[in-house]
């Protein structure tokens, strides 16, 4: 299947693995890229730029296919060493970067000069248009269904993707609610040139997370996620657990007086305990409503092959048969 996204990134299938905290290690990215998609290493999971360089090198031992590095620009006082991170990416020869969070305009000239293609994660059409205007090569359009931060507009992909198609000139992929061949064909029908999957890729054999995390996703339905930090306008979709329900009780009790410090125990620094140690009630962790469509733990190769087979069957048999 050829789309503007496969051409842009030099990949076989229009499927991208999104950047995920304490998931986007070399094993994950390498397996996805070997299967014909675009695997993504998460830069901020690495403790130092040197660690990131080592992680990219480790990934290169796994795959020779194109890989991507996710760089999230956080609104924080003690910011990561972004110049050093960008230098590592350039020096490592990576040719694709997924940016997220704040506007990436300060690093775009350096990435462009190095011939790196940039795809920016957006939760609204206006943000996608801004990304296009500053020179991003593509955008990942995140619908309200997505795990992690869906923005504050609450627009699901059935509306958001066609709106993006109406407005954008650069290619975009769908993100949020993507799991199978049906997701891919629907995304293509609404104007996307591929899809980005996060939660679905956590439930794969190669995902370097604790088995408890994979089992929790398989066991969950589409009704088992919660939206936290809405009063702080930093909304995050997470899988329900004891810590999340406790967090929601605090939000309800404190109302307009809620401060980040009130919920820091449930949201700060919990990812290693969850992803590495399998402590499923340690805190809030990003998970999409798409968990309701995830019923097994295949290899990345099996998953991507199945998605592409399903997509071809839907297009060639079901849809063509309706004409």
pLDDT at residue number 78: 81
Tell me how far apart the alpha carbons of residues 15 and 184 are, in angstroms, rounded to a whole number. 8
Return the HEC string of 278-308: CCCCCCCCECCHHHHHCCCCCCHHHHHHHHH
Mean pLDDT of 207-229: 98
Domains and CATH numbers, the chain: 4-208+296-321 (3.20.20.70), 221-286 (no CATH)
The single residue listed with the structure tokens 């930093």 is 234
CA distances from 142 to 23, 34, 208, 287, 289 (A): 19, 25, 24, 13, 13
Cβ atoms of 141 and 150 closer than 8 Å: no
- Render pLDDT for 244-292 as a digit per residue (tens, 0 to 9): 999 999 999 999 999 999 999 999 999 999 999 999 999 999 999 999 9
Residue 63 has pLDDT above 80, yes or no: yes
pLDDT at residue number 185: 98
pLDDT at residue number 74: 87
Return the beta strands (E) in the chain as ranges: 15-17, 39-42, 67-73, 96-101, 117-122, 138-142, 172-175, 195-197, 225-228, 236-239
Tell me which residue of 205, 286, 208, 197 sits closest to 17, measured CA to CA: 197
Does the model's pTM come out above 0.95?
yes
Residue 72 bridge partners (DSSP): 100
Residue 225 bridge partners (DSSP): 239
- Render pLDDT for 194-206 as a digit per residue (tens, 0 to 9): 999 999 999 999 9
Tell me how far apart the alpha carbons of residues 69 and 39 are, in angstroms, rounded to a whole number. 8
């Amino acid at each position: 299947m050829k789309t503007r996204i496969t051409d842009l990134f030099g990949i076989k299938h229009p499927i991208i693995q999104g950047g995920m905290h304490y998931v986007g290690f070399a094993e994950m990215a390498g397996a996805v890229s070997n299967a014909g998609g675009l695997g993504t290493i998460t830069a901020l999971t690495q403790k130092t730029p040197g660690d990131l360089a080592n992680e990219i090198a480790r990934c290169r031992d796994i795959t020779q296919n194109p890989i991507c590095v996710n760089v999230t620009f956080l609104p924080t006082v003690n910011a990561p060493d972004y110049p050093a991170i960008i230098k590592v990416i350039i020096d490592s020869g990576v040719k694709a970067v997924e940016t997220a969070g704040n506007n990436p305009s300060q690093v775009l000239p350096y990435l462009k000069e190095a011939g790196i293609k940039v795809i920016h994660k957006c939760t609204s059409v206006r943000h996608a248009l801004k990304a296009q205007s500053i020179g991003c090569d593509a955008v990942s359009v995140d619908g309200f269904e997505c795990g992690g931060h869906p923005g504050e507009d609450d627009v699901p992909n059935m509306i958001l993707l066609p709106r993006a198609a109406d407005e954008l000139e650069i290619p975009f992929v769908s993100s949020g609610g993507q799991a199978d061949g049906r997701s891919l064909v629907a995304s293509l029908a609404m104007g996307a040139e591929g899809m980005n999957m996060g939660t679905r890729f956590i439930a794969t054999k190669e995902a370097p997370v604790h088995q408890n995390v994979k089992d929790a996703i398989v066991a969950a339905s589409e009704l088992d996620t919660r939206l936290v930090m809405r009063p702080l306008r930093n909304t995050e979709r997470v899988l329900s657990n004891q810590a999340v329900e406790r967090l929601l009780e605090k939000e309800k009790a404190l109302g307009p007086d809620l401060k980040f410090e009130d919920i820091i125990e449930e949201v700060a620094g919990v990812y290693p305990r969850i992803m590495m140690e399998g402590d499923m009630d340690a805190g809030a962790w990003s998970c999409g409503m798409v968990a309701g469509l995830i019923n097994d733990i295949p290899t990345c190769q099996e998953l991507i092959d199945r998605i592409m087979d399903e997509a071809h069957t839907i297009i060639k048999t079901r849809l063509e048969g309706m004409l």
